[in-house]
């Protein structure tokens, strides 16, 4: 009997996370993912993936914050398919925080999801990933260097996630590989959907002169977890050459 490898991806029901969940499932992985408020999207994905391959997807409602019992969450997730081979820290909060907007609420909201959750999930999943010779992939962002204007806390959270990626790659080696993928202009932020001037300005700075596809991120993730046995501590920019003109 073939035992499918299992991926746990946070926030895998919307945008890039959704496409990554579907792409990895198409490539034979069982999927466990989370949602917070998007119950309708979660139900649709659960039905869709399990109709393609029965008993291959489970979705859990959880808020990733300082009150989360990450040890309990880990035990619950491993129990679903009896194993976890890959942890993908994808869930992310993104909104502006100018200096006068910085407060404890916005700090905790963004840091808890973008940095605290990846750290504690990595901590508790490490023994399981070590047993499976698995890997961790963190979804970062090209806009940490140089930082994105007016997004102070977000920039700090993603810069921290890059540092965490490299730190864990050292600390968890040789048993578990840890890498990052940094999307460029893949999907327009929902707040910029109708801002044609801003879209044109961004496209002018991309070497390939187009935005990417969410599947470009999913393909990079699949490469790192399946075909990159000698790669750890790396951060792959999937940005169409945007970093060349930043």
Report pLDDT digits (tens) over 133-178. 999 999 999 998 899 999 999 999 999 999 999 999 999 999 999 9
Is 35 annotated as catalytic?
A: no
Is residue 1 over pLDDT 50? Answer: no
Is residue 202 over pLDDT 90? Answer: no
pLDDT score, position 198: 80
CATH of range 6-245; options 3.40.50.300, 3.40.50.720, 3.60.150.10, 3.30.70.270: 3.40.50.720
Q: Are 137 and 89 in contact (CB under 8 A)?
A: yes
* Average pLDDT of span 188-192: 68
- Distance (Å, whole) CA 167 – CA 40: 37
**Distances in whole angstroms, Cα of residue 194 to Cα of each of 44, 200, 204, 219, 240:** 27, 11, 17, 28, 22
Catalytic residue selected from 29, 74, 126, 154: 154
Q: Are 141 and 184 in contact (CB under 8 A)?
A: no
Q: What is the mean pLDDT of the chain?
A: 95
* Average pLDDT of span 48-57: 98
* Average pLDDT of span 76-83: 98
pLDDT score, position 195: 74
pLDDT score, position 33: 98
* Average pLDDT of span 90-118: 97
Strand order in the sheet with 177-183: 57-61, 30-35, 6-9, 86-89, 135-139, 177-183, 235-238
- Distance (Å, whole) CA 196 – CA 151: 21
- Distance (Å, whole) CA 44 – CA 191: 24
Collapse the DSSP code of 223 into the 3-class scheme (helix H, G, I; strand E, B; otherwise coil) and give the result: helix
Contacts of 128 (CB under 8 A, 6+ apart): 74, 78, 83, 84, 134
pLDDT score, position 188: 74
Burial 191-222 (b: 16+ CB within 10 A, else e): eeeeeeeeeeebeebbeeeebbebebbbbbbb
């Amino acid at each position: 009997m073939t035992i499918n490898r299992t991926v746990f991806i946070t926030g895998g029901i919307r945008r890039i996370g959704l496409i990554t969940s579907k792409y990895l499932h198409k490539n034979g992985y069982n999927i466990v993912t989370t949602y917070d408020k998007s119950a309708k999207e979660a139900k649709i994905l659960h039905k869709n993936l399990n109709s393609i391959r029965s008993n291959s997807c489970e979705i859990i409602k959880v808020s990733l914050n300082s009150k989360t019992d990450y040890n309990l969450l880990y035990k619950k997730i491993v129990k679903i398919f009896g194993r976890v081979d890959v942890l993908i820290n994808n869930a992310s909060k993104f909104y502006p925080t100018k200096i006068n907007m910085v407060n404890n609420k916005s700090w905790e909201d963004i840091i808890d999801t973008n940095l605290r959750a990846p750290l504690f999930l990595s901590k508790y999943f490490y023994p399981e990933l070590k047993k499976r010779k698995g890997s961790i992939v963190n979804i970062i962002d090209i806009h940490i260097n140089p930082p994105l204007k007016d997004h102070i806390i977000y920039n700090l959270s993603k810069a921290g996630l890059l540092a965490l990626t490299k730190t864990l790659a050292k600390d968890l080696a040789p048993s578990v590989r840890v890498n990052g993928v940094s999307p460029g202009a893949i999907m327009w932020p929902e707040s910029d959907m109708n801002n044609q001037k801003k879209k044109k300005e961004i496209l002018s700075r991309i070497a390939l002169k187009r935005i990417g596809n969410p599947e470009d991120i999913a393909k990079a993730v699949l490469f790192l977890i399946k075909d990159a046995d000698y790669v750890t501590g790396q951060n792959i920019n999937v940005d169409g050459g945007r970093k060349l003109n930043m």
